[in-house]
Amino acid sequence: MKVIALNGSPHRSGNTAYALNVVGKVLRGEGIDFEIVEIGGTQIRGCLACGQCAKRQDGKCSTTSDLVNDTLLKMKEADGILIASPVYYSGIAGTMKCFLDRAFYVASANGGWFRHKVGASVVAVRRSGGSMTFDSLNHYLSLSEMLVPTANYWNIIHGRAAGEASQDAEGNQVMEVLGSNMAWLLRMREQGHNTEPHAVEKVFTNFVR
């Protein structure tokens, strides 16, 4: 089994990466492959709302100049996905938001690639806005019918400068518990594969007609 983790921070060794590595250490200890893909330090433009991914049904975003399409394939193959962001102005860091809007739109418009994969969100923050950012990240997972493991508090770690998160004892425990629960849910999912409920045809209304 494999988990792909997306680091939405431009810092490869910052607090977001630190939190992901705490989760990843537990997952690896449970025999699950774990890979971090760096998102926040790259150039990713926002969704153009062109609808080409839905029209063409080729599983690709029409913007091909960045790592969105390649990373999408890794996410499609993975059993679990971790999406992580530092808090910027009480929300998801901009580059990560651009990535998530496009990746999750393509995946859902092409048959629901992430349906019943295990998915969780992780947030790094200095002081305020952690819960809002955690909620925002979770919207991508819940809309995709993903199976979301929890921890013993919300998946938020505190720190400002890179590495400070290592001093947040409660945040570290939250990430470890998340890793254990994620590993368990991955194994349950594997065992229950034959009993998976069928996808329904989506009802799509705009409330204007």
Ligand X SMILES: Cc1cc2nc3c(=O)[nH]c(=O)nc-3n(C[C@H](O)[C@H](O)[C@H](O)COP(=O)(O)O)c2cc1C
**Binding residues vs ligand X (CB under 6 A):** 9, 11, 14-17, 86-90, 124-129, 159-160, 162
- Closest CB to ligand X among residues 14, 80: 14
Closest CA to 38 of 96, 90, 117, 121: 96
- Rounded least distance, CB 96 to ligand X, Å: 11
Q: What CA–CA distance (Å, rounded) separates 164 from 86?
A: 13
Nearest residue to ligand X, using CB? 14
Smallest separation (angstroms) from ligand X to the CB of 152: 21
C-beta of 12: minimal distance to ligand X in Å?
9
- Dihedral, CA of residue 95, residue 125, residue 117 and residue 22, to nearest 10: 120
Report in angstroms how near the CB of residue 133 gets to ligand X at its nearest. 8
Rounded to 10 deg, the angle between the 68-77 and 94-109 helix axes is: 60
* DSSP annotation of 165: G
Say which amino acid occupies 61: C
Transcribe 139-163 into DSSP letters: HHHHHTT-B----SS-SEEE-SSTT
Complex with ligand X: residue 13 or 142, whichever CB lies closer: 13
Would you say 32 or 125 has its CB closer to ligand X?
Answer: 125
The three-point CA angle 153-158-160 to 5° equals 165
Between residues 125 and 174, which has the closer beta carbon with respect to ligand X?
Answer: 125
Q: In angstroms, what is the minimal distance from the CB of 138 to ligand X?
A: 18
Q: Which residues of 72-99 are buried (b: 16+ CB within 10 A; e: fewer)?
A: beebbebbbbbbbbbbbeebbbebbbbb
8 vs 119 by CB, closer to ligand X: 8
Q: Which is nearer to ligand X, 30 or 164 (CB)?
A: 164
Closest approach of ligand X to the CB of residue 13, in Å: 8
State residue 119 phi and psi, 5-degree precision. -140, 140
Contact in structure between 182 and 83 (CB atoms under 8 Å) = no
